[in-house]
Amino acid sequence: MEIMSFPESYINFKKMKKRAEQILELAKKYQDYTAKNLSKQVQIKSLSMGEKDVCAEVKRQMEEAGFDEVRFDGLGNVIGRIGNGKKILAIDGHIDTVDVGNLDNWNFEPLSGEIKDGFVHGRGTVDQKGGIASFITTGRILKELGFDKDLTIYFVASVMEEDCDGLCWKYIIEEEKIIPDFVISTEPTNLNVYRGHRGRMEIKVEFRGVSSHGSAPERGKNAIYMASRAALEIEKLNERLAYDEFLGRGSITISEIVSGSPSLCAVADFARFHLDRRLTWGETKELAITEIEEIVRDINAKVTVLHYEEEAWTGLKYGMEKYYPTWKLEETDKAVVMGVDAYKFLFDKRPIVDKWTFSTNGVTINGMYKIPTIGFGPGNEVMAHAPNEKVPVKDLMIASAFYAMYAYQI
């Protein structure tokens, strides 16, 4: 009698389903552990360039979880490693946060890290220490399961993202020479799989006028009037920017305006504004600059893309131009498909595949270096930079399971 064999694809499917059950069981087992690790991180204030203490705590947590190696790089990023295979997966989360803002808008202590009613409360729980706490648990899960695939996984708690998106990964790729095959960003996605977002750039426009006594303004050239006329044209520009079916429309807004004059009784001879430009698919740095130069072509004005260069907590000064390229992957890209499959193995349903509204480290990882990148993170991005920030403990558990399942598919 002929013995019929199951197709290899079916055998692999059953094997992966079994692995998903083991991962989910451990993620639930360590759910409180994940929440407590996050609480400890939240209690340590960590603005950009001031992450030293929280980086030390994250390093301790990675070591406690049994990572094969944990170290700081020159910029201060915490890099944990599991495995030593040919292919490389990196899981990234930035450890710095914005400040707490007006305390009157908070219903609880912003740095309490309180675990209550199924949430971890405090600044950074969503944006985005929650992702870091989750992937530390992922490391513990993988070590407990005896992860032995031909894969190196780097778990990166990155610095200075809030000040300069992607600077940390520019350093990792160019200076540390770590070039992953795939990257997961743990920025908040509400547990959806994200595959891109608009780019952005920061532009400075300076106007030079001529001062005169305020009693005779006709003798001078008022730089504020120059800036004001340009500002009205920029408002119109925003209405006609390009549109992409997935990423949406590009946008531009003036986020700051300053001026100067010899005195308050004189015509202003200087004005400057800062532009926040969001770039949809097909819009480039050159295009965005040209659009502004056209508006001010008959005005004495200078248009400049800003440059960021600051000293990290390690003392290293490092920088880059404040141009953060647009990026997206197609839904059929292998990195996205693996993310969808990881979710389906764990939860027997397809996740929503979408995009971020804001910008992430993906601007360098994929936007500059074209490394396949997806997003999956605990918490809802509407809580990012907002008062009363909190993340569901269940989200942390799901994220820790997702990252482990993703690793088993590479």
Return the beta strands (E) in 209-358 as ranges: 243-244, 248-249, 251-260, 270-279, 301-305, 307-311, 317-321, 323-324, 327-328, 353-354
Is residue 2 in some structural domain?
no
In the chain, the number of structural domains is: 2
Task: State whether 46 and 183 are in the same domain.
Answer: yes
Is residue 130 in some structural domain?
yes
- Residue 283 appears among annotated catalytic residues: no
Residue from 324, 373, 328 nearest 166 by CA: 324
Residue whose tokens read 């930079």: 385
Task: State whether 301 and 335 are in the same domain.
Answer: no
Is residue 176 in some structural domain?
yes
Task: State whether 65 and 118 are in the same domain.
Answer: yes
Task: State whether 187 and 262 are in the same domain.
Answer: no
* Domain end position, chosen among 311, 337, 370: 311
The pLDDT tens digits along the chain (410 residues) read 444 455 677 778 999 999 999 999 999 999 999 999 999 999 999 999 999 999 999 999 999 999 999 999 999 999 999 999 999 999 999 999 999 999 999 999 999 999 999 999 999 999 999 999 999 999 999 999 999 999 999 999 999 999 999 999 999 999 999 999 999 999 999 999 999 999 999 999 999 999 999 999 999 999 999 999 999 999 999 999 999 999 999 999 999 999 999 999 999 999 999 999 999 999 999 999 999 999 999 999 999 999 999 999 999 999 999 999 999 999 999 999 999 999 999 999 999 999 999 999 999 999 999 999 999 999 999 999 999 999 999 999 999 999 999 999 99
Residue from 82, 187, 156 nearest 408 by CA: 82
Q: What is the dihedral of CA 253, 376, 407, 34, to 10 degrees?
A: 120
Task: State whether 206 and 188 are in the same domain.
Answer: no
Task: State whether 367 and 236 are in the same domain.
Answer: no
Task: State whether 70 and 184 are in the same domain.
Answer: yes
DSSP state of 117: T
Cα separation, 127 vs 28, in Å, equals: 22
Is residue 318 in some structural domain?
no
Residue whose tokens read 């002929």: 2
Of the residues 96, 269, 283, 381, which is catalytic?
Answer: 96
Residue from 361, 360, 318 nearest 171 by CA: 318
Is residue 356 in some structural domain?
yes
- Residue 64 appears among annotated catalytic residues: no
Burial class of residue 370 in the structure, from the number of CB atoms within 10 Å of its CB (0-12 exposed, 13-18 middle, 19+ buried): exposed
* Domain end position, chosen among 277, 311, 345: 311
Task: State whether 80 and 187 are in the same domain.
Answer: yes
Cα separation, 350 vs 174, in Å, equals: 36
Task: State whether 174 and 32 are in the same domain.
Answer: yes
Per DSSP, the three-state class of 42 is helix
CATH of residue 363's domain is 3.40.630.10
CB atoms inside a 10 Å sphere around CB 158 = 29
Task: State whether 142 and 119 are in the same domain.
Answer: yes
Structural domain span for residue 219: 199-311
Paired with 70 in beta bridges are 80
Of the residues 73, 92, 127, 161, which is catalytic?
Answer: 161
**pTM for the full predicted model:** 0.95
CATH of residue 276's domain is 3.30.70.360
Task: State whether 156 and 56 are in the same domain.
Answer: yes
Task: State whether 214 and 137 are in the same domain.
Answer: no
